[in-house]
Structure 1
Amino acid sequence: MARKRNRPGKNERKQLREKKRKEKLFVAPDQSAQPDPPRQAAHDGEQDENTRIAEDVKERKLLVRQKPKRNINRTHAEEIVRRLKRQNDTIKYINDGQWKTDARLDWMGDRVDDLRRTLTDLNNRCNRAFVIGRTTDDKAEKALSEVAELVSRVETLEGTTNDKAEKALAEVAELARRVATLEGRIAILKGRIATLEGRDATEIAQHMEEMGSGNEQLTLEMIMTKGELRELRDLGQPEVIEAKKDADIKQSRQARNAGGKVGTEGAWNGRLRGRKV
């Protein structure tokens, strides 16, 4: 009859192994490192300090050994590097598109400022034309008042004696000549007013046409900018970036097979040393 082995069962052995594993994980606290028990706090700050010391002691008692991290093989590391490079290229594309968009928006803002200054200049010119017209009207009214005054003086002189009549007639002739001169000046001023009004109307129409063409150009540029933004947004999509990366890899392989220089000095030097890259 065979002798019965005094050996624990399967479940008991499993429980013993688990118990030993847990005992190895726990670290016994250093008794010499424990601080003195906290005394009665004199103020709130000291109470907080005592609480912090007690929490540190508690954490030190519960300290356990950490499991070693899993080793990363070469394939996994290369995949991580490729992923980081792909993310870096994506960020670079997005930053370049953002810089171009900001530059285009700055240029459009400068163009809008130029158009605003042009409108201000036109407004100032129109105001000057209105001031000139009001000044001319004032001069015409003053000339007419002088004519009326001269006519009243002629009527007054007609009621004088015969001796004064000849003198009055001479004065009337002189006054009539002056009236004719004033009327000529009034006609010249009216012609100048008409010329200024026509010139201002021509300039206003020209500037309005320039503003219309500028607005059309600005609209076209905004449409182009939206298209560029859409292209940049498409460039940021993962599938577009993957397609571009695949094309770049294919091109570099073709160049490498042809024996040309590919991207870095390392590939060229490796080929010179007889190593297949």
Structure 2
Amino acid sequence: MQPATHRVIAPADIPALRRRAYRIRRHALLMGEVQGQGYVGQALGIADVLAVAYFHAMNLRADDPEWEERDRFLLSIGHYAIALYAALIEAGVISESEIENYGSDDSMLPMSGMAAYTPGMEITGGSLGHGLGIGVGMALGLKRKQSHSRIFNLLSDGELNEGSTWEAAASAAHWKLDNLVAIVDVNDQQADDKSSSVLDYEPIADKWRAFGWTALRVNGNDIAALVEAFDSALESADGKPCVIICDTLMGRGVPLLEDRDKTHFIRVDEDEWRIALKQLDDTYAHSSHAAGSEHS
């Protein structure tokens, strides 16, 4: 297969991407129900980002997760594994039947992501602050192989507390890694407090630009805005790595969970899972109807 001389970006089907995001959320809720707990708030918040990444921006083959020409999606924040599993299930990399095994002994879907267990899981994350450094190494390797594949690295606002993240950011700019796209999930929540209270990260975009990156900031729950941001990142060939800073809402699409004070790790009563699924279905049905009315 001859590599293309430039990246061809297909037009985005916004309604289809919204449906993908809804289904990613639903897969995550069903997995959470298996264990009665988990990092479901993050999965609901980042679902729109994953839908645009996997079903618009990335080049991959569901039947061949190790295809050499694939784009690589690195999950630096290993506890977001439930979100990535949901995207991989929706993409057909993992069978939907695996949902019922989530978090169980010998499951391919452990509660924290591990590359050795799960097809499509590129790295073992969880020791926060390491993912971007791995991404820099992979992007540099791809550059030296003259590959046109890209690295997408999802990290959290809490990982901006880690010095290793900024060392990696400086290295990426030094090596002119315009095949590297960092995605920062800004939900302003860590295990102990708000991220901005633990260590304020603002002005976040200016900081990345000061390190030599192209920085874009968007509403991470707005599919159209995300498509525009990812397209800008893919079209970039200025020698700069790109970061997409995504402001997201924990529990997005499920009012029951959106309204909770702390949603870093959620324990949901047995009867509430059905309520959460019903609320998600209602939210999607309402938003789809509204979108259809706007374009009729």
Same fold by TM (over 0.5)?
no
TM-score of the superposition, structure 2-length normalised? 0.15
Q: Which has the higher strand share?
A: 2
Question: Looking at CA atoms only, which structure, 1 or 2, has the larger radius of gyration?
Answer: 1
TM-score of the superposition, structure 1-length normalised? 0.16
